[in-house]
Amino acid sequence: MKNIPLILMGCGGVGRQLLQHIVSCRSLHFTQGLCLRVVGVGDSKSLVVTEDLLHEGLNDGFLLELCRVKSVGESLLKLLDFGKCQAFVHPESQGKILEIAFQLGKKTGLVFVDCSASSDTVAVLKQAIDMGCCAVMANKKPLTSTMEDFKKLFIYPRRIRHESTVGAGLPVIASLNRIISSGDPVHQIIGSLSGTLGYVMSEVEDGKPLSQVVRDAKSLGYTEPDPRDDLGGMDVARKALILARILGHQINLDSIQIESLYPKEMGPGVMTVEDFLNRGLLLLDKDIQDRVEKAASNGNVLRYVCVIMGSRCEVGIQELPKNSPLGRLRGSDNVLEIYTRCYSKQPLVIQGAGAGNDTTAAGVLADIVDIQDLFP
Amino acid sequence: MKNIPLILMGCGGVGRQLLQHIVSCRSLHFTQGLCLRVVGVGDSKSLVVTEDLLHEGLNDGFLLELCRVKSVGESLLKLLDFGKCQAFVHPESQGKILEIAFQLGKKTGLVFVDCSASSDTVAVLKQAIDMGCCAVMANKKPLTSTMEDFKKLFIYPRRIRHESTVGAGLPVIASLNRIISSGDPVHQIIGSLSGTLGYVMSEVEDGKPLSQVVRDAKSLGYTEPDPRDDLGGMDVARKALILARILGHQINLDSIQIESLYPKEMGPGVMTVEDFLNRGLLLLDKDIQDRVEKAASNGNVLRYVCVIMGSRCEVGIQELPKNSPLGRLRGSDNVLEIYTRCYSKQPLVIQGAGAGNDTTAAGVLADIVDIQDLFP
């Protein structure tokens, strides 16, 4: 039986879903000779740790109670009443995490699972990796900070996995890494990596005004609470940066040309969300409609995509053939087209839901299972 | 530097392409701390082995000369003149291979790479795996023989990889294994896994007669020398069987319902290839044309696919919505739709070239690189 100790950082929707997946996959993993032992779970404020680090994980009842406690917005400290654990609060929790990394990292291996959405985890992750730990990440932030941080995280490239940072559970990173290992040169990647923007662009293609489509998307729960967080393109740019860096481009977020779907004058510092939705957006309808019509007159459609080609990496609206995998995209699926020597005329295409806690957590779990070979 | 010794079985197009990829990826793999050391290469008749098994592989000049010799149809024994190697002929070669497996398997690990198209490799593979070796396969035959053989090959599931048995280098198996590891239940797989039949079905959809389309496909080099080898569906059935077995179905090739596109009376034992192409095929035009028209009247198209759902596994023509990833398929790409809990309304789709020596060998090489973590 292979025993893989884990520390989970972040107990938001993805983190909680991951814990539930781990519990419900116990017997499946057992038949595969695998035991995932969650030794600690932390959020931005506190950390709970199993009492017997070397032998026992937090038990399944405890993990499910943890999910319940966090889903109703309570503190991890609440769990001290519930079961055998130690609890630490920030900033002591950081020190404790590194102590565990030191204790387990070299000896048995330890996987740091980052399901937070914070830039603050990068310091801990770098130190843990230095101490022989592995990292599995759904969090894009540490991978999209400086090149120096990125290089430190990838100092042992086999020990870090981050499938769910791009396209949630879609096998994007795994496939790209396979292409790279096989020496097949990547000529171009073009992808629609935001479910929200995918939906928006395919709806405006049908002639609906942008303002209405965005309001619909918001009421369908497709957007962030402030839809400008999607429309600004920063989330897509982070994904593009991760792909570009995997391809070996030593670039930063600020070297990516990002087209925002709203002008600075409608930014969060200037307009309230309500104002933007009810007033600002209306002013953008005409321009998008004109562009849609112009594209249609060329037999094309508009898609909000990332394009990585040579040293070029940009994010924004592109006019694409209606009759291509990206052009045919409808709704909120992600689509990635990868052009290589092997896939030169027709790209390798990966398509499917690219968001959602369930899918994202599934991608994280597959990464964890995948690094088992590194464990004794 | 991680040193991975390999034995290659099969020096057809894929095997030779793999050797060329290995040579041309030397510096790439070197920067990743990886050295692939080809210690032996065999075909159905003979085997050449490096003189110093423990320390040296066959050198790159030798490997390229081997590719040249085999591409002009000469014997591996020809290489005795060329460089430092030992040579063995069948059946001694089999014994020698097992001796190497015994010598290296437990000690340093050894990867058996099966790029042959023969059922004969299964015995050697099973024994090698027993001795601690790994296997990477492009050859479908050993995986589609008895369940008993399959189980023996998968006794250590992490030590066997076979991406290129389905969809060539497309990340089909890797993606499916990730889905399984994450506990996401697979509800249905439906895929067009023959480039030839994909091309044929999309051409007859345009109203061309089957007979003409098959003759065109043959002259474009899309078919086997005897196109009935494609039209019979056996190759697709083998791929379907591999996918079904990965999903845990303990079935054999003869439990798969296979629809052949030609009747028994036109089989290879009854008609010559020329007779089939010039006379037999014409008799099949009307029926396919009727089916295409019937499908079109329902807004559907015909695709030759494998369907795996529950315990059902079948291969043949299905009527599918025109507006689905499979329905939109044109030309010779492979398309796979995977429906799971995470991908329930819209499937996870993987699409791209599913044949060709270059792509197939790239998939094999990615598998080899991927099992490096098992090596000390």
Q: What CATH number corresponds to the domain at position B158?
A: 3.40.50.720
Do the Cβ atoms of A250 and A150 come closer than 8 Å? no
Residue A371 sits at the chain B interface (C-beta within 8 Å): yes
- Shared domain check, A264 and A191: yes
State mean pLDDT over A184-192: 98
Flag whether A164 is in a domain. Answer: yes
Query: pLDDT of A106-117, one tens digit each?
Result: 788 899 999 999
Sorting pLDDT into bands at 50, 70 and 90, what band is A83?
A: confident
Inform me whether the pLDDT recorded for A88 exceeds 90.
yes
Flag whether A132 is in a domain. Answer: yes
- Shared domain check, B192 and B122: no
Inform me whether the pLDDT recorded for A208 exceeds 90.
yes
Across the interface, do B366 and A331 touch by the CB < 8 Å criterion? no
Sorting pLDDT into bands at 50, 70 and 90, what band is A339?
A: very high
Which residues touch B211 (CB under 8 Å, ≥6 apart)? B277, B281, B282, B284, B285
- For residue B12, the enclosing domain spans 2-169+358-374
Catalytic member of B45, B239, B264, B322: B239
- Shared domain check, A193 and A142: no
**Distance between terminal CA atoms of chain B?**
10
- Shared domain check, B119 and B185: no
- Shared domain check, B214 and B141: no
Flag whether B277 is in a domain. Answer: yes
Inform me whether the pLDDT recorded for A5 exceeds 80.
yes
Residue A351 sits at the chain B interface (C-beta within 8 Å): yes
- Shared domain check, A128 and A241: no
Query: pLDDT of B234-273, one tens digit each?
Result: 999 999 999 999 999 999 999 999 999 999 999 999 999 9
Inform me whether the pLDDT recorded for B106 exceeds 80.
no
Residue-level pLDDT at A233:
97
State mean pLDDT over A57-72: 96
The tokens describing A73, both together, are 């917005």
Query: pLDDT of B308-325, one tens digit each?
Result: 998 899 999 999 999 999
Inform me whether the pLDDT recorded for A299 exceeds 80.
yes
pTM here is: 0.97
- Computed over every residue of chain A, the mean pLDDT equals 96
CA distance A352 to A293: 27
Residue-level pLDDT at A216:
94
- Shared domain check, B193 and B154: no
Flag whether A174 is in a domain. Answer: no
Which residues touch A94 (CB under 8 Å, ≥6 apart)? A124
Residue B359 sits at the chain A interface (C-beta within 8 Å): yes
Q: Is the peptide bond before A157 cis (omega within 30 degrees of 0)?
A: no
Listed range (A2-11, A109-118, B106-115) with the worst mean pLDDT: B106-115
Sorting pLDDT into bands at 50, 70 and 90, what band is B64?
A: very high
Upper half-sphere CA count for residue A44 (Cβ side, 13 Å):
7
Flag whether B291 is in a domain. Answer: yes
Residue-level pLDDT at B300:
97
- Shared domain check, B148 and B202: no
The tokens describing B143, both together, are 């995986």
Count: domains in chain B: 2
Flag whether A175 is in a domain. Answer: no
- Shared domain check, B279 and B244: yes
Structure-token match 């036109």, residue found: B266
> Is A61 annotated for ligand binding?
no
Flag whether B174 is in a domain. Answer: no
Flag whether B54 is in a domain. Answer: yes
- Give the minimum alpha-carbon distance from B272 to chain A in angstroms, rounded to a whole number: 35
- B58 DSSP 8-state letter: P
Report which of B287, B248, B280, B284 is spatially closest to residue B266, judged by C-alpha positions.
B280
Across the interface, do A346 and B333 touch by the CB < 8 Å criterion? yes
- Shared domain check, B327 and B269: yes
- Shared domain check, B294 and B231: yes
Q: Give the dihedral of Cα atoms A335, A341, A345, A346; nearest 10 deg.
A: -30
The tokens describing B202, both together, are 């999309």
- Shared domain check, A328 and A189: yes
Inform me whether the pLDDT recorded for B360 exceeds 90.
yes
CATH of the domain at A217: 3.30.360.10
